[in-house]
Chain A
């Protein structure tokens, strides 16, 4: 009898991609060889879908963060891989303000993270404006972490709509330590990276070693803008981060991030949004650089898109662009729109701002487009189904 990992390595399990877009959700079902893909969608046509995540603990529950241009935000839940959906009874919402105070309202849920493997019904959500929420019933009802959401210091670090990204400040990259359900990381864009060791009762900044925009105080969390943070499953003491000012690695118990973006080619730079880590090799990570010069065009540098990989923890980087357009391709990839499966070799996937879905079944060496003409892609997640 083979182990689950051996089965996956042999490619015996199908892959599911969740593709969240500005106009709805698509699911792509891949055959075990990852060569044939069946599109299932659109779901929620016309809804803005920011993130859709398959629960790895049961392999069939999907949560989708949704809103429309006209209606308030909500969460949809499916327990049959998207065949049917039911709305959350109590979506993420901030506490009602006390008299005389200006309360905040969730504009959209931006990020969804399943809880620890031992906490089977726990989910976390990050929102815009920035807030942290938790569900203990599989995503049906959600409650706010007022200790963070209403803390005056954190509120200052979170800033206002004017301080955030173009469509609002976002709390994202919520990470649960696979060894300890009480150990959490999260990132605030802007507002820095933060850590909790008591199940989210208290948080503390984790920003040492990170650069900020020239002229600002790097000791102030307000000025930090993490774009995407990942923990390595192969070594949960290692974190990678794509940041507004570069690419970083953190090896715990150290509190000081190491700048590994300085090793990227000067002509490409180290600015971007997504970052993906290898499921079994903590020295391997992939990024998708974008043009962060002058007014921040947020396009592929020079109109020549490429993924960059490091296989030595950020010491060196190699360009991976075989199969990608060689010129005049001005799209980019958003922070949630790049993912890896856990096959061997690892499959990589990204969705573009121009609505194309690309994949590589050999860890980025060769790329092919598996879908075109979708709406702008906001998030891609890959899951290998048991």
Chain B
């Protein structure tokens, strides 16, 4: 079943740093996303940049192997990770392969 984004959130947006591999969607190095959790912020990001979420999160709602999220400097391993208002979300593409 296709993942459906939840409704838009009204909390103060977090700043999202976008890795180079995903800038084809955002066309810039940073963006804003709203949400109380990492999952909500990614849903909001996908609303603004359709398709970007599936490149990071698979259809079983798992973080893809080479993607890392850091919330206010701490690695988030769970999509339920809470976000702080006006905080920072850094998306990192782990280096791998040749």
Contacts and interface: CB of A to CB of B under 8 A. Distances in A.
Interface of A: 68-72, 74, 87-91, 93-97, 103-106
A74 B54 contact: yes
B95 to A, nearest CB: 8
B55 A74 contact: yes
A69 B94 CA distance: 9
Given A68-B21, A69-B96, A96 B55 contact: no
Contacts of B60: 94, 96-97, 103-105
A68 B97 CA distance: 10
Interface of B: 1-3, 19, 21-22, 50-51, 54-62, 64, 66-67, 93-94, 96-97
B55 A72 contact: yes
Nearest to B97: A69
A71 B93 contact: yes
B59 A106 contact: yes
Nearest to A101: B60
A207 to B, nearest CB: 30
B54 A72 contact: yes
Given A71-B93, A72-B56, A90-B2, 16 more contacts: A69-B96, A70-B19, A70-B66, A70-B93, A70-B96, A71-B55, A72-B57, A87-B50, A89-B51, A91-B54, A94-B59, A95-B59, A96-B1, A105-B59, A106-B58, A106-B59
Contacts of A74: 51, 54-55
A104 B60 CA distance: 7
B21 A72 contact: no
Nearest to A87: B51
B67 A70 contact: yes
A96 B93 contact: no
B50 A105 contact: no
A93 B54 contact: yes
A341 to B, nearest CB: 33
A103 B3 CA distance: 14
B58 A105 contact: yes
A71 B56 contact: yes
30 contacts: A69-B97, A70-B21, A70-B66, A70-B67, A70-B96, A71-B21, A71-B22, A71-B55, A71-B56, A71-B66, A71-B67, A71-B93, A72-B55, A72-B56, A74-B54, A89-B50, A91-B51, A93-B2, A93-B54, A94-B59, A94-B60, A95-B59, A96-B3, A96-B60, A103-B59, A104-B60, A105-B58, A105-B59, A105-B60, A106-B59
A71 B64 contact: yes
A188 B51 CA distance: 29
A70 B1 contact: no
Nearest to A91: B54
Nearest to B53: A72
Most buried by A among B3, B21, B96: B21
Contacts of A106: 58-59
Contacts of A95: 1, 59
Contact of B94 (A70, A88, A90, A105): A70
A312 to B, nearest CB: 45
B27 to A, nearest CB: 14
Contacts of B55: 71-72, 74
Contact of B59 (A68, A87, A96): A96
A-B pairs, top 4 by smallest CB distance, nearest first, are: A105-B58, A93-B59, A103-B60, A71-B55
A37 B96 CA distance: 35
Contacts of A89: 50-51
B43 to A, nearest CB: 15
B22 to A, nearest CB: 7
Contacts of B1: 95-96
Contacts of A104: 60
Given A95-B1, A105-B59, A72 B50 contact: no
A144 to B, nearest CB: 9
A91 B52 CA distance: 12
Contacts of A72: 54-58, 64
A321 to B, nearest CB: 32
Most buried by A among B54, B56, B62, B67: B54
A69 B66 contact: yes
A74 B64 CA distance: 14
A74 B3 CA distance: 15
